[in-house]
Amino acid sequence: MLNTIKNKILALYSDLVCQLKRWQHAKNLPALEKRDRLILDTLKRDGVYVTTLADLGLNSTSELLKAASEQLLRMKNVNNEHLEQKWPQIHTVTGLPEFSTWGTEKRLLNIIENYIGLPITFHGVHLRKDFPSDNQFGTLLWHSDAEDRRIIKIFIYLNDVEEKTGPFEYIPRSLTSIFSLKYWRLYYQLWKSSYMGIDDEEVKKIISKSAWKSCPGAACTVIFVDTKNTLHHGTVRTKTRSALFFCYTANPPERPELCTQYWDDTYPRAELLSLSDIEKSLV
* pLDDT, mean over the chain: 93
Beta-bridged to residue 222, according to DSSP, are 51, 156
For the chain, give every domain's residue range: 1-30, 33-281
- Which CATH topology does 33-281 take? Jelly Rolls (2.60.120)
Average pLDDT over residues 192-218: 97
* Amino acid (1-letter code) at residue 38: L
Of 9-23, 234-248, 254-268, which gets the smallest average pLDDT? Answer: 9-23
Of 116-125, 147-156, 272-281, which gets the smallest average pLDDT? Answer: 272-281
pLDDT for the residue 78:
86
Residues 273 and 283: their CA atoms lie apart, in Å, by: 15
pLDDT for the residue 272:
46
Greater confidence (167 vs 134) lies with: 167
pLDDT for the residue 105:
98
**Is the C-alpha dihedral spanning 56, 46, 150, 223 positive or negative?**
negative
Count of C-beta atoms within a 10 Å radius of residue 184: 14
With CA atoms as reference, report the closest residue to 138 among 208, 237, 71, 246. Answer: 237
Residues 189 and 202: their CA atoms lie apart, in Å, by: 8
Spatial CB neighbours of 6, under 8 Å, sequence gap ≥ 6: none
pLDDT for the residue 8:
66
With CA atoms as reference, report the closest residue to 158 among 244, 90, 89. Answer: 244
Are the CB atoms for 89 and 127 separated by under 8 Å?
A: no
Task: Give the pLDDT band of residue 197 (cuts 50, 70, 90).
Answer: very high
Residues 80 and 137: their CA atoms lie apart, in Å, by: 15
Residues 19 and 29: their CA atoms lie apart, in Å, by: 15
